[in-house]
Amino acid sequence: MSAITRAEVAHLARLARLALAEDELDHYAEQLDVILQSVARVSEVAADDIPPTSHPLPLVNVFRPDDVAPGLTQAEALAAAPAVEDGRFRVPRILDEE
């Protein structure tokens, strides 16, 4: 006997807005029963002395510190530009709008 009934599967299907045929209700009831049994088995194994974790390996921050470093000056940034206008890069117009 499955732990989940056809009526419960039909209710879940309605909540999920799924239209299930009669034969699908039996099929999904069996599958959901297997899933629930597997979860119950895992719950039996979990011990109280083992702390819950979000990841199997310890996570380490791999980011470098945010240190202020000197950047390019405006003149250095524009030095290799093919066209400059008013201290900015000049690029071809791609839209006809103003």
DSSP string, 16-62: TT----HHHHHHHHHHHHHHHHHHHHHHHH--TTSPP-SSSS-----
Q: Is the pLDDT of residue 65 over 90?
A: no
Spatial CB neighbours of 80, under 8 Å, sequence gap ≥ 6: none
Please state which architecture CATH assigns to domain 6-45: Orthogonal Bundle (1.10)
Spatial CB neighbours of 9, under 8 Å, sequence gap ≥ 6: 20, 25, 28, 29, 32
* pLDDT interval class at 69 (50, 70, 90): very high
Spatial CB neighbours of 19, under 8 Å, sequence gap ≥ 6: 13
The dihedral region occupied by 83, where left means phi > 0, alpha psi between -120 and 50, and beta the remainder, is beta
**Does pTM surpass 0.75?**
no
pLDDT tens digits for 54-64? 888 888 888 88
What is residue 1's predicted lDDT score, i.e. its pLDDT?
Answer: 46
